[in-house]
Amino acid sequence: MLELRPNCEWCDKDLPPDSEEACICTYECTFCQSCVDTVLENVCPNCGGGFSPRPIRPASAFRAGVSLQNHPASTKRVFSPYTIEEIAAFRQSVLAK
């Protein structure tokens, strides 16, 4: 089940569970659409994969036990350990292949 991380790992923008701006890679690294487009250029700085819009989990259950009420979003904020220079170099190495 997706964690639904609460923030962009680069700019720390809040990304609530219903955010249409949240993007994730296959490892759930979470960034806002703006950072994906302008800083990361659709290359995850952690795995080198691309991003997709994060699905929105229903706030209330349409089926019993399946909603944010039953499976809340994470509250643990995650931050990228990389500098902008490290991200740019990694992105270039991924795009060069």
Residues in the chain: 97
Identify residue 55 by its one-letter amino acid code: P
Q: Are 5 and 74 in contact (CB under 8 A)?
A: yes
0.85 exceeded by pTM: yes
Burial of residue 15 (number of CB atoms within 10 Å: 0-12, 13-18, 19+): buried
User: 8-46 pLDDT, tens per residue?
Assistant: 999 999 999 999 999 999 999 999 999 999 999 999 999
Q: What is the pLDDT of residue 50?
A: 98
- Per-residue pLDDT of 59-86, as tens digits, reads 999 999 999 999 999 999 999 999 999 9
